[in-house]
């Protein structure tokens, strides 16, 4: 079972992702509500995949991607973005994120992206 760390400042969005992925065989090993916490939890939990919002308090998602990738160059990170954030998504991909999903989340799109990222890494 693949282990996932979810990072979003809105507990609503974390719950929604959890409800989409857990019944499909992914284990949520932790949640983070800001860009500092996600880096700390990545170091402690060593998840297979991180699903991370781009806009977060304390440290942006892009900064957090850079910090995680500096520690673990093979880290698999999926960015969660919203319409109108294309430039930030591009920046996040350049920083090392593997893929992205766009809010509002469509369960099938979330699962397809997550599976693709997991399979590519394997």
Partner 1 sequence: MDLAKYRALFLEEATEHLAEMSRACLALEKDPANGEALDLVFRLAHSIKGMAASLEYESITRLAHHLEDRMAAFRAQGAVDVPEGMALLFRGLEALERMLGALREHGACPPADEGLLEALAADRGSGKKA
Q: How far is the CB of 13 from partner 1 (least distance, A)?
A: 6
Phi, psi of 26 (to 5 degrees): -100, 145
Q: How far is the CB of 37 from partner 1 (least distance, A)?
A: 15
For 37-99, the three-class secondary structure string (H helix, E strand, C coil) is HHHHHHHHHCCCEEEEECCCCCCCHHHHHHHHHHHCCCCCEEEEEECCCHHHHHHHHHHCCCE
- Alpha-carbon distance of 26 to 42, in angstroms, equals 16
Q: How far is the CB of 19 from partner 1 (least distance, A)?
A: 8
Size of the site for partner 1 (CB under 8 A): 17
Q: How far is the CB of 41 from partner 1 (least distance, A)?
A: 20
Judge whether 17 and 34 are in contact, CB under 8 Å.
no
Contacts of partner 1 in 51-110 (CB under 8 A): 55-57, 82-84, 103-105
Contact between 111 and partner 1 by CB under 8 A: the answer reads no
Which residue number, 73 or 84, has a Cβ lying nearer to partner 1?
A: 84
Q: Which residues bind partner 1 (CB under 8 A)?
A: 9-13, 15-16, 19, 55-57, 82-84, 103-105
């Amino acid at each position: 079972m693949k282990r996932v760390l979810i990072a979003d400042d809105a507990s609503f969005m974390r719950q929604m992702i959890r409800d989409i992925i857990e019944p499909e065989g992914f284990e949520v090993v932790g949640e983070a509500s800001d860009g500092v916490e996600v880096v700390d939890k990545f170091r402690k939990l060593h998840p297979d995949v991180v699903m991370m919002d781009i806009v977060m308090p304390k440290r942006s998602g892009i900064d957090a991607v850079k910090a995680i990738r500096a520690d673990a160059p093979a880290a698999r990170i999926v960015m969660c973005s919203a319409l109108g954030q294309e430039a930030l998504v591009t920046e996040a991909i350049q920083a090392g994120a593997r893929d992205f999903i766009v809010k509002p989340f469509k369960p099938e799109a979330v699962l397809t992206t997550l599976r693709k990222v997991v399979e590519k890494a394997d």
